[in-house]
Structures are given as structure tokens and as C-alpha cells.
Amino acid sequence: MQGGFATSGFSDALVILGAAGIVIPAFARLRISPIIGFILIGILVGPAGLGGLAAQHHWLNYVTISNAQRVEPFAELGIIMLLFSIGLELSLRRLWSMRRIVFGVGAAELAACALIIGAGLHFIGQGLPGAIGLGLALALSSTAIVLPLVGTHSAVGRAAFGMLLFEDVALVPIVFALGAMAPSASAGVGPLVGTLLLGGAVALGLLFGGRLLLPGLFAQAARTKNPEVFLAACLLVVIVSSLVTSAIGFSAVLGALIAGIVIAETEYRGEVEVITAPLRGLGLAIFLITVGMRVKLGLVIANWQSILAALVAVLLVKAIVTALLLKIAGNRTGVAAETGVLMASPSETTLIVLGSATAAQLIRPETAAFWQIVTAIGLTVTPLLGMVGRFAARRIDRTGDAQLGRALEEGGPGKVVIVGFGRIGRIVADMLSAHDRSYVALDANADAVREGRSSGYPVLFGDVSRGTLVQRLKVGIPSAVILTMDDPVLVSRLTKRLRAAFPDIPIIARARDTAQAARLYKAGASQAVPEAVEASLQIAEAALVDLGVPMGPVIASIHEKRDEIRATIKAEADLEEAPRFGSRRLRDAQPSGEGSKRSTPAT
């Protein structure tokens, strides 16, 4: 019985859970990413480390993993749950807005990196088919490690996610192309085109079918008021979607991503995200441990110079190409530099492409083993690359932050700061100018900044997801901050951060609906303006005026209704109608003669 336990999956579970319990708190205390810790644990306890000695020392079975294949299915589940959680943070509208970076910069980045790396390998003696396969494999970057480091709401996260999304979609054509290049292959492009068309049809079917079926499924699970049933429904959706995309030849993670996007359109997104978070974290830990298991220390020691040279060359090529393309696309220099460095490492999908190239006899097994080690080490150093990228971005962006500080200091005791300069931000700016209010606008979209400045607006580039930028606002404390971005998660986070930094100033935030408005009030917003409510009030105002009701009573009733709705929202947020944050300060800053002017808030 004792031997059976030691050689079963129970001992592997003991190692993984023990590693999670030790690595996460230890590395958090040292302020080091746990990602590095899990990979190092994999190197230590895997078959190439202490696990290889378990046959001579049986007690090592309790603290090592001697069979890596036994835990790889759980690692795959972890990656699937990670992509599912990323999908939960997206929406169809946001994906459509990212089409330029996904199919523009993403495609150019993959093609350029693959071309340069493949050409370099061919120049030093690798055959042309093998150079093509290795170039495509090494050009891929890690979704599983990059996105947890930066998220998807910062400027760096959006840029990285757009390129990573294209790479995930391109994985299937790459594998098909390598198979077609095999010496014994006779198939043409017909199967590839057919699979791509089938994949597009299935993706659309999952997106639109899910929007019809999932609300009913989660409603039934929610009625049971049983967390286990709700979790089972979540896993059912994820696994079925992953199996469907796998069955047609695409990656399982693509199905998980689609499932997350569909659920993000429902009212159950928040509950699903909370209930699946533990599985996502544990699955990612298992994946990182399996990455460490692929590092063969003996081979690393014997070939450390070649491995180091190969890794540095790949990192430099990918970092430079990615940064240049993002800069050409209009991104800020700091964002381009940080994203380029972060995306420089190879990917977990690199291992898949290497396996396909080996199976197609394009590269020798020993060549694949060498590049597998380079990939594993590259994944290990990705968190360190993230730190280097952030340091470089801070050095580069000091000029931009200084411009913001000077803009806030100029022209009086404090300006209004408008965060987000799209359609709504422009209207707010126009209304502030009409009432002689000084303001400065920020936006993380380089195109919006360029268009605003060309039209004469005082707009600066600013990535508000960075904590350093919020601290920079303290140089010239603003008289109010107005958040107009259409990003509920980022608006909530920024509201909390601003309220902690500025306890007394007004913070007026845009909300999609009353539910989000209630969350913003909890986060510290002075006023949260739901788009749906304001649209309804404006429609009612226009209808009443056209029906002949005098303007004065109409405006009074609109204001009364707005106050009633605001009180209801604050009650839902467990807040009382207390004096508004910074209201006295804002009134005191008004020029004389404007106290009687009132206008319906613009949306």
C-alpha cells in the first residue's frame, strides 16, 4: 500500500500542492514572481532532477515527479482555464476594436520575427525547411506567462494580448504548413483552407449559440444556490467548447477563449470569474512545473555557451522587432519598449510547433531537444524580462509624466483632469471650455491623442493603468477627475486608486448601467453616470418638450428623476446620500456669476 501511494498520482498531487503552499508565500515575501519559483520547482523535482534518482532512493517518490506525462493533462487544463479567464475580461465590442493590432501588428510581428530567426538559422547551416519550422516556432510568445504579468487592461497588456491572440489563431495554419512540408507529404492547401473555413464557422456558431443558450444554463445553476452546481456548469461550458475546437483541428485554448468571451456578455461574468479563480491558479502552477521538468540540467551544463547564445539572439530579435512595429503603429515609446522586452521569450506553443517539425522530419530530434531547453529557460526568465521592460519604460516615460505635471501646475490652483478622450471626453471638454474651466485630458490611445491635439485640445498621452501616473497627478493636484473610458474594470480600479490618492476631490465616472454605477460608488466615485439612464432621461426630455410641456417644469422633473435614480443606486451600493466628495472645494473654485448656471450632464 505504501509503495502504491508513492508511485501513484497521490504523490504527484502532494508535490504540486506542497510546492504551491511553499512557493507562493515565500516568493511573495521576497517580492519575486511565483512563476519563477514554480519553474525552478519543476527543474528540481522532475525526471531530469531529483526525480531521476527515485529508482535508487525510494523515499524520493514522495517529493518528486518521476513521470512528467502523468501531470501534463492537468497542465493543459490549467492553460485552458487561463485562456477562459482572459476571455471573461473581453467583449465582442472590445475584440472588434482590437482588430487593427490583432491582424495588423500581430501578423507583422509573427512574420518578421519568423523570417529573421529562420534566415539566421539557415545562414549558420540549418536546412531551409527546418529553418522555416524553427523560425515560426521561436517567433511565438507565451500567453500563459505574459498575460498574468500585465493583464489585458493596461496599454502594454492590450498590445501584448492583440499579438498573442493572433499567434494562438495562427498556430493551426503553422502546424498544417509544417506537415505539408514533410518529405513524404502529398497533401496540398485544400485541407488547410477547409479547416480554416470550418474553424471560422464553428467559432461563429459558438459565439452566437452561446449567447442564446448560456444565460438559461447559468440561470438554472444559479437557482440551485449551490456553488458546486455553478462550478460544474462553468467547467461543462469550458470543456465542451475546448473539445469542439480540438475536434476540428484547432487549439483547445481557442475554444476556452471563445467560451469566456460569450460568458462575458452575460450578467453571470463576475460570479463565474470568482468561482473558477482557484482552478485557474492551480492549473497554471502545474503548467509551470511541467515547463521546469523539460529542462535537462546535464544537457544545459554541457552546452551552456550555445544555449546562452541562442537564447540571447532570440530575445534580441523579438524584442527589437516587436518594439519597432508597435512604435510604427503609433504606440508610445515606453509601451513599445516594455511590450517588446516582455514578448521576447519563446512560448509554450513553441514546444508544440517543435514537435510538429520533428514529426515532419524537418529537424532532427537532438535539434528539437536543444531548442526545447532554450524555450524552457526563456519561459523561466520571462518575469525577469517583465521587470527589465518596466524599468526601461519608466526611464523612457519620465518625459511624458513631467509634461503632465507641468500641465497641471500651469494656469491656476488645479485643473480638471479628463481621463479618456473619445466621443464623450470631447463633449465634456467642450462643456468645460464653455464655462471657462481649465482642464487637461489623458488618453492611452495614440491616435486619439494625435487627433485631439490637431483639433486644438490639450490632450496628453497617459497610461492611467500605471500607478506611477496617478502619483504624478499629485505634482499639481487636480480640482476634479472625470473618467470617460468604456472599460468597466479599469474604471473601477482607477476610481479606487484615485480615491486613495485624493480623498477630497470630486471623481465623476462613466458607467454602462446602474449595476456598474453602484460598484463605482463603492469604489469611491463622487458621481457615477449610467449611460442607459442618461439616454432615457434625454429621450423623455425631448418627448415632453415636443409635446408642448414648458421647458422649466421639464428640466425640473428631469433633475428630480435623476436625483431619485441616484439615491436608489447609492442605496444598492449601501451608501447614504452623504455630502459629495469635494463638493465645497469645487464650488469654491467656480468663477463668480456661474453658481446659478446648470446644465444637464453630458454623456
Averaged pLDDT, 127-148: 87
pLDDT in tens, 373-403: 888 888 888 888 888 888 877 777 555 555 5
56 in a structural domain: no
Long-range contacts at 3-9 (CB < 8 A, ≥ 24 apart)? 3/58, 6/58, 6/61, 6/62, 7/61, 9/70
Residues 251 and 214 in one domain: yes
* pLDDT at residue 62 tops 50: yes
214 in a structural domain: yes
b/e code 140-155 from CB counts within 10 Å (16+ = b): bbbbbbbbbbbbbbbb
Which of the two residues, 115 and 527, has the higher pLDDT score?
A: 115
Which CATH number fits the domain that encloses residue 460? 3.40.50.720
Residues 330 and 475 in one domain: no
269 in a structural domain: yes
Residues 390 and 424 in one domain: no
User: What angle do the packed helices 143-150 and 155-180 form, to 10 degrees?
Assistant: 170
pLDDT level of residue 322 (50, 70, 90 thresholds): very high
pLDDT level of residue 121 (50, 70, 90 thresholds): very high
Residues 380 and 305 in one domain: yes
389 in a structural domain: yes
Domain extent for 347: 71-395
Residues 133 and 165 in one domain: yes
Q: Out of 365, 395, 425, pick the residue that ends a domain.
A: 395
Report the distance separating Cα 476 and Cα 407, nearest Å: 8
Q: What is the pLDDT of residue 515?
A: 81
Q: Out of 364, 395, 426, pick the residue that ends a domain.
A: 395
Residues 309 and 416 in one domain: no
pLDDT level of residue 75 (50, 70, 90 thresholds): confident
Query: Which residues, 6+ apart, have CB-to-CB distance to 235 below 8 Å?
Result: 276, 279
Report the distance separating Cα 374 and Cα 367, nearest Å: 11
Residues 384 and 480 in one domain: no
Residues 478 and 442 in one domain: yes
Q: Flag the least confident range among 28-37, 415-424, 476-485.
A: 28-37
Residues 470 and 503 in one domain: yes
* Residue 272 and residue 234 in contact, taking contact as beta carbons nearer than 8 Å: yes
Global pTM reads 0.59
21 in a structural domain: no
Q: Flag the least confident range among 24-33, 124-133, 317-326.
A: 24-33
Residues 350 and 419 in one domain: no
163 in a structural domain: yes
Q: Out of 331, 363, 395, pick the residue that ends a domain.
A: 395
Report the distance separating Cα 583 and Cα 361, nearest Å: 72
Average per-residue pLDDT in the chain? 76
403 in a structural domain: no
In three-state secondary structure terms, 127 is coil
233 burial type by CB count under 10 A (0-12 exposed, 13-18 middle, 19+ buried): buried
Q: What is the pLDDT of residue 111?
A: 92
Which CATH number fits the domain that encloses residue 312? 1.20.1530.20
Number of structural domains the chain divides into: 2
Report the distance separating Cα 253 and Cα 75, nearest Å: 12
* pLDDT at residue 30 tops 70: no
Q: What is the pLDDT of residue 119?
A: 93
pLDDT level of residue 585 (50, 70, 90 thresholds): very low
* pLDDT at residue 5 tops 50: no
Sheet holding 416-419, edge to edge: 459-461, 439-443, 416-419, 480-483, 507-511, 527-530
Query: Rounded to whole angstroms, what are the CA distances from 283 to 103, 229, 552?
Result: 30, 20, 61
Which residue in this structure is represented by grid cell 473581453?
90
Residues 140 and 203 in one domain: yes
Q: What is the pLDDT of residue 324?
A: 93
pLDDT level of residue 435 (50, 70, 90 thresholds): confident
Q: What is the pLDDT of residue 237?
A: 86
For the chain, the straight-line distance linking the first and the last C-alpha, in angstroms and rounded, comes to 69
Residues 139 and 251 in one domain: yes
353 in a structural domain: yes
Residue of 317, 339, 316 lying closest to 326 (CA atoms) = 339
